[in-house]
Chain A
């Protein structure tokens, strides 16, 4: 049994069989065989080794011709490795003595060697582990005979383990087949983490290097509540987790019963809980969880993975479908294009050479330089506004000038629509995201120019602490509970109050039960989050008085480190709601 700690990003507990993606990329069908079948298994093993050697030679030939002999020689080395008598002997022993399947025995053996090599800690030779994985993959593919993307061809339920998953790989996971996933890289607010929450797949990320210690087919427990994964648990641990799994299920069920109740403190202060969505189909999740509307409709999906920009009518359809699904009386806040450096985008080609993309041309900066693209989106949003309570929001505004430019272009577009006689809501509320520290510091001035603020804590934390949220090495710096972040949030809330405009928090922070009392106590009455988090946050709000929340906020603001803040909030949250999962 081995325990690894990472960052919990999607709650729930899952127990299942490991599927390692990327390195072996092949799902191991079973781990053990009937002892009587050992000879058959060894025959299969020898055939696979022969085929793998043939592959290596074919590769050598092909690479010789393509790149030259010195590169082809690498595959000659692979062939020699596969033919190493020590290697096959070691694997045979696992099959005959431990009744491992050929696949599992290969995986275990190659990983053991890779780990031993990595432990030598010689950067010069570190690529050799990659050679071993390559060989492992080749042998396994002959044993299993399973080509293609393993995530698309799952042969049975699995726990997916990977160095990293892209947001789109995550989005395409089938929750019925993928019980959970765990990755070496990634942070709390990465898009992969966000997608896991949306799909309700328990997930732990930022585990650091651990794939070498795991073989495909190992039994894995993923504890998405605590950020722990357990490899080959002992009997007692497995029992304990089976119980936890059932408990989590019933708590989640009770939360669902809160759906139609308001998010109201015991002394009658009402909060508005909104959903963050990315795809129009997610508006259904908002309804299911009793959201009061959509507080953040991300529009990037329209622009991704394509070679042309989405046209006006395509966008209009997407926006209108959400407005119709949510209903005419509930707000739908549509955020204009917010593509960052971490997202692929054909338009960004011209900015590819940016040394520091997250501080480069992104979001409104990109839009203000591509007016055709920007105006097309604004037209589509304005046209959708006559079907309900549509609001428009600009992301990543850093200065007052930028905000004014955005508003000016919006005014232009309105005028155009007016001239063309196209219907739209002339009084469409305009908001700005506050996610750059400069905007937070200038919040009082900004508040005079807009109808609402939405505090994007993910970026605000990243920019305030200068810590990349997806870099596991600095993940510890990235904390919503950092006093610097809390002071900025407090400042923005106060600025909104002086101008009497609405303010909302739409980052991951608002869906984290740890911060619910704090945010309420600081004066927030609107929170927008992944719809799945709404019941839990509602449960907390319904368990406290506003006075209690204010005391918690005052106390929390007194601490001078994120650790103290978070420890205090953890204590307070557990006091109010012992069954809630706080990290």
Chain B
């Protein structure tokens, strides 16, 4: 990752894990930043494309799992906070 890559780690608190609905909200939010590259990584696993539902589905982020969000490109800061927000918002709902 280049120097302007922003990172933040999120812990999954929801008993259902990072499931289809928050995942969809996440992808939708990520796609609002077409210039940004978004990757999601579970510790010890290969980073996956944060704009691909299919790839995210393979994450298997269960409750307690930590995932690392990495965003680079124009507007990365805004994108990262939006994504983190989506995460928290969706998990707060339940």
Nearest to A71 among chain B residues (CB) is B21
- CB contacts (< 8 Å) of A125 on chain B: these are 17, 19, 57, 60
Interface size band for A: 20 to 34
8 A Cβ contacts from B1-39 to A = 16-17, 19-21, 23-25, 27-28
Interchain nearest-CB distance for A110 vs B (Å): 10
Alpha-carbon distance between A195 and B49 when the two chains are bound, in angstroms: 50
Asked, given contacts A74-B21, A125-B17, A131-B20, whether A86 binds B52 with beta carbons under 8 Å apart, the answer is yes
Contact of A84 among B53, B60, B62 (CB under 8 A): B53
**Contact of A116 with B21 in the complex, beta carbons under 8 Å:** no
**B17 touching A84, Cβ below 8 Å:** no
* Contact present for A70 and B53 (CB under 8 Å): no
Q: Interface majority SS on B: helix, strand, loop or mixed?
A: helix
Rounded to whole angstroms, the CA-CA distance of A250 and B55 in the bound complex is 53
A contact residues around B53 at 8 Å (CB): 77, 80-81, 84
Q: A80–B31 Cα gap in the complex (Å)?
A: 10
The reply on A417 being an interface residue by CB < 8 A is: no
Q: In the complex the two chains form, is B49's CB within 8 Å of A86's CB?
A: yes
Taking CB atoms, residues of chain A closer than 8 Å to B44 are: none
Contact A84 B52 (CB under 8 A): yes
- Name A61-88 residues within 8 Å CB distance of B: 70, 73-74, 76-77, 80-81, 84-87
A73: contacting residue among B24, B27, B52, B57, CB under 8 A: B24
A-B residue pairs, 6 tightest by C-beta: A77-B24, A81-B53, A77-B20, A73-B21, A80-B53, A84-B54
Contacts beyond the supplied A73-B24, A122-B62: 17 A-B pairs with Cβ under 8 Å: A70-B21, A73-B20, A73-B25, A74-B20, A77-B21, A80-B27, A84-B53, A84-B55, A86-B49, A86-B55, A87-B54, A113-B54, A113-B57, A117-B57, A125-B17, A125-B57, A125-B60
Cα–Cα distance between A286 and B92 once the two chains are bound (Å): 68
The residue of chain A having its C-beta at the shortest distance from the C-beta of B28 within the complex is A80
Residue among B23, B27, B54, B60 with most chain A CB within 10 A: B54
| Residue contact B21 to A81, C-beta cutoff 8 Å | no
Q: How far is the CA of A81 from the CA of B57 in the complex (A)?
A: 10
Q: For the complex, is A359 an interface residue (Cβ under 8 Å from B)? A: no
Does A120 lie at the interface of the complex (its beta carbon under 8 Å from any beta carbon of B)? Answer: yes
In the complex, A85→B51 CA distance in Å? Answer: 9
Determine if B23 and A77 form an interchain contact, defined as CB atoms under 8 angstroms apart: yes
Distance in Å: Cβ of A222 to nearest Cβ of chain B:
32
B49 to chain A: which residues have CB within 8 Å? 86
User: CA of A117 to CA of B57 in the docked complex: distance in angstroms?
Assistant: 8
Q: CB distance A117 to B58 under 8 Å? A: yes
Instruction: Give A84 to B25 CA distance when docked, in angstroms.
Output: 14
* A73, closest chain B residue (CB): B21
Interface residues of B in 42-75 (CB under 8 A from A): 49, 52-55, 57-58, 60, 62
A122 touches B60 (CB 8 A): yes
**Interchain nearest-CB distance for B49 vs A (Å):** 7
CB nearest neighbor in A for B55: A86
Cβ contacts under 8 Å, B57 to chain A: 81, 113, 117, 125, 128
